[in-house]
Structure 1
Amino acid sequence: MLQPKRTKYRKPHRVSYEGKAKGNKYVAFGEFGLMSTKGAWLSDRQIESARIAISKCLGKTGKMWIRIFPHMSLTKKPLEVRMGSGKGSPEKWVAVVKKGTIMFEVANIPEEMMRQALTRAGHKLSVTWKIVKRGELPND
């Protein structure tokens, strides 16, 4: 699974996924990209399953870029523990995805296969999405 090698803080504050993306808003490397249309936290497991779905469609000639990374840890307290006594221990890693963020990009295969690969990957994610083409500016 994806997770950072080290972080400055073990238990960060929860970052909001509301609002529009500041960067990472256009297809920079590939020909087609998967763009989020709502904000959410995507777990490392969701990103990994989407990566596997895309790589199975791509074959050896296709190329893929993952534009998001799970930097933030979500904490959870154990079951049946009383209130207080500090924050829980880190449970999983999530990527903060805002509206308009490009999450995955693909290139070097026919357009039909690229759309199919991105559609399969999108179904693995807990965020609404759309497929965008390079050079196409999204309507906000």
Structure 2
Amino acid sequence: WVTSRQIEAARVALTRHIKRGGKVWIRIFPDKPITKKPAETRMGKGKGSPEMWVAVVKPGRVMFELEGVSPEIAQKAMALAAAKMPIKTKFVVREEAHADAAAE
């Protein structure tokens, strides 16, 4: 799971590093509520109130996308964002489809 606070910390790290050079897309959304009962509360009496929201991230899921910056800056920015994540991440470069078609 990735919490909404972790996603926001990664977003801030990305946008600060690329400054005003490119565009950032966040491809995950925290849509799962995690509930918690108050401290020193007896068992029972129903489910606790929502404590935080998380995004369920499975292997292979694209979490962030960058556009309009050089690959070196993008890799450094993504490394900063990956440091904020509680899971192992990988930097992937997407090959443009129209560039391949123009080369043929």
Higher fraction of strand: 1
Identity of counterpart residues, as a percentage? 49
Give, in angstroms, the shift of residue 84 of structure 1. Answer: 1.0
What CA distance in whole angstroms lies between the structure 1 residues aligned with 2:67 and 2:14? 11
Alignment of 1:1-140 (within 5 A): 41-135=1-95
Counterpart CA distance in 1 for 2:60 and 2:20 is 29
Q: Relative to total residues, which structure has the larger helix share, 1 or 2?
A: 2
How far apart in 1 are the matches of 2:75 and 2:67? 11
* RMSD of aligned Cα (Å): 0.8
Query: Normalising to structure 1: TM-score of the pair?
Result: 0.66
The answer for unaligned runs of 5 or more in structure 1 is 1-40, 136-140
Provide TM-score, normalisation by structure 2.
Answer: 0.88
Q: Which has the higher contact order (CA 8 A, sep 6+)?
A: 1
Describe the SS at the equivalent of 2:76. helix
Moved over 2 A (4+): none
Structure 2 unaligned blocks of 5 or more:
96-104
Aligned length: 95
Distance 1:111 1:57 in 2: 13
Residue deviations 1:39-82 (CA, integer Å, cap 9, x gap):
xx111100000000000111212111100011111000011111
> How far, CA to CA, are the matches of 1:90 and 1:129 in structure 2?
28
